[in-house]
Amino acid sequence: MKQDSPNFLSRVSIAFGSFFAIISDRQFAADVQALRDGNRSAASVTPAPAVAKPAPIPLRETAPEAALQLLGLLQREARFIDFIQEDVAAYADVDIGVAARVVHEGCRKVLRDNFSISPVRDEAEGSRITLPLGFDAAAIRVTGNVVGQPPFTGSIAHRGWRVVDTRLPKLAEGHDLRIVAPAEVEL
């Protein structure tokens, strides 16, 4: 039975796949050469091995409750949402700086009261370190001219942060976390 000829995009895909198969598989390269030379009988009938794609990492949804609770704490202690929602273009830098100090101190209070945070790396920023094969890529992001495989030697640009402990307040039953700041009505 005659197969339909592949369309242009399918041929491009076949060409790329064939290119990499020829580079990595000596027998496949010989079969392609035999076909190009017009000797179809010399080509083996075994197809090139398929390149296995890594299985996708399953994603999980996180519950929004803790994020909403944290946002509410930042608003209550630092007026964080008010500051971020404000169009500061019309204000002088001095005025923005004063407001930023209030927001900064409130945010620090929320972090200190609700989290224990420590650096991912203990070395000082600028220190030279070597990352061995199998280093924790979730805790350390390698940047710059990344070529080859570990070990990598470089300088710490940022020590990173790791949450060691979380102490968010307990909530009353029925508390609506979506209200991160209630409307205020002055009488």
pLDDT tens for each residue of 144-171: 989 899 999 999 999 999 999 999 999 9
Tell me the whole-structure pTM to 2 decimals.
0.63
pLDDT tens for each residue of 117-126: 999 999 999 9
Q: pLDDT exceeding 70 applies to what percent of the chain?
A: 86
pLDDT tens for each residue of 90-113: 999 999 999 999 999 999 999 999
> Exposed e or buried b for every residue in 123-144, given b needs 16+ CB within 10 A?
eeeeeeeeeeeeeeeeeeeeee
The average confidence (pLDDT) of the chain is 87
Domain boundaries, the chain: 11-42, 65-166
